[in-house]
Amino acid sequence: FVSAYTGVDFGSSAAESIKLGFVLLSTILPVTMPLILTTVLAVGAQELAKDNAVVQRFSAIPEMANMDILCSDKTGTLTLGKMSVIKEESLTFHDDVTVDEMM
């Protein structure tokens, strides 16, 4: 991380210098990509934990970035251990679109 050290000397912030160090390290030694990816995902999980989010798998972070629809259910899974549909409701931007067409 020579760039991180020299970046601080030239007035860059420490965070910017570390980012530059990761970029240079991954460019020079592509084998370091798993280390860099794990570090970045760990920092992301730490940031999510500040907002009371629990991350069980690091791969969930980029998966959620690509997510369009989130379906969740707490009722039933906590008490019975199985899911069941009580009421089906869908919100669309067009009144003439049915649930079947949307799915």
Q: Which residue ranges make up each domain of the chain?
A: 2-102
Q: Is 95 a known active-site residue?
A: no
Given a contact cutoff of 8 angstroms between Cβ atoms, the answer to whether 18 and 39 are in contact is: no
Q: List, in order, residues 6 or more apart from 28 with CB less than 8 Å away.
A: none
Among the listed residues 73, 95, 96, 100, the single catalytic one is: 73
Question: Distance from CA of residue 18 to its chain's centroid?
Answer: 21
User: How do residues 49-93 score in pLDDT, each as one tens digit?
Assistant: 888 887 788 777 777 778 787 776 666 555 666 667 777 666 666
Burial of 93 (0-12, 13-18, 19+ CB in 10 A): exposed
User: How do residues 24-51 score in pLDDT, each as one tens digit?
Assistant: 777 777 777 788 788 888 888 888 888 8
Q: Which two tokens stand for residue 96?
A: 């003439």
